[in-house]
Amino acid sequence: MSAEFVIRLAGEAVYTVLKASAPMLVIGLVVGLVISIFQATTQIQEQTLAFVPKIVAVLLALLLFGPWILTTLVDFTSNLFTNLYKFIG
């Protein structure tokens, strides 16, 4: 394996991980921001108020975007095996 192949493969892997995790991260960020604004305006500083809604939101995002994430990861894996087969064979 050449260094260029490994570097390109690592770059594709990082991009795929970022692309697959982006929906959950963005939704968690938005929910966290809304909860923080709510806590600041009401002066309620309860830790579970910030933690539980984010977990629920990320779980719902995972259920909603799960098929797309699975497709993205399967496409990456298929592309990986195809490239490795071309490289080896």
User: 25-77: per-residue pLDDT in tens?
Assistant: 999 999 999 999 998 898 888 877 888 999 999 999 999 999 999 999 999 99
Does the pTM of the predicted model rise above 0.95? no
pLDDT at 2 over 90: no
- Cα(17)–Cα(58) distance, rounded to whole angstroms? 16
Indicate the Cα dihedral angle 82, 86, 88, 89, nearest 10°.
Answer: 120
